[in-house]
Amino acid sequence: MRWELGSSWSWPSVDEIERRFEELIRGRWGPGVPAPLADVFVAEEYVWVEVDLPGVEAGDVHLRTERGALWIEATRKARPPSESARPAHVERPQGALRRAVPLPFAIRAEPVEVTLAEGVLRVRLRVERTS
């Protein structure tokens, strides 16, 4: 697909640009590693990051802070309800999950608190204040 300039040319919508970008990336490198959804909350001394990780066990989550982001790597293992159950329709990705969540402030190297409950990873980080 080509973009052509003509007399009736106008800028494509953001949705169209994103769709074409996805086509380009997937066409060149194939589907990527799924990125779970995340929210970031800010307070005076802390930043909280919440990431959706349903079906992931705490031992299968690895965190690190690097280049102004919280990097989350996790593995979701296939867990059918019984040994005889076979998938008929599967939408939730299995295997590796990866996400870099940009942080709004410089933070200390280690998370203050990490919990994984009800499929949500919650990470509390202390804001690094420079005086």
Q: What is the pLDDT of residue 121?
A: 96
Residue 29 has pLDDT above 60, yes or no: no
Compute the distance between CA of residue 18 and CA of residue 72 in angstroms, rounded to an integer: 24
pLDDT above 70: percentage of residues in the chain: 81
Is 108 within 8 Å of 128 (Cβ atoms)?
Answer: yes
User: What's CA 93's distance to the chain center, in Å?
Assistant: 12
Percent composition of the chain: helix, strand, coil (DSSP 3-state, to 5): 15, 35, 50
Higher-pLDDT residue of 125, 8: 125
Q: Is 92 exposed, middle or buried (0-12, 13-18, 19+ CB in 10 A)?
A: exposed
Residue 110 has pLDDT above 80, yes or no: no
Instruction: Name all domains of the chain by residue range, CATH numbers in brackets.
Output: 33-78+93-131 (2.60.40.790)
Compute the distance between CA of residue 97 and CA of residue 5 in angstroms, rounded to an integer: 40
Q: What is the pLDDT of residue 49?
A: 95
pTM as predicted: 0.69
Is 123 within 8 Å of 109 (Cβ atoms)?
Answer: no
What does the pLDDT look like over 34-75, one tens digit per residue?
Answer: 889 999 999 888 999 999 999 899 999 999 888 888 999 999
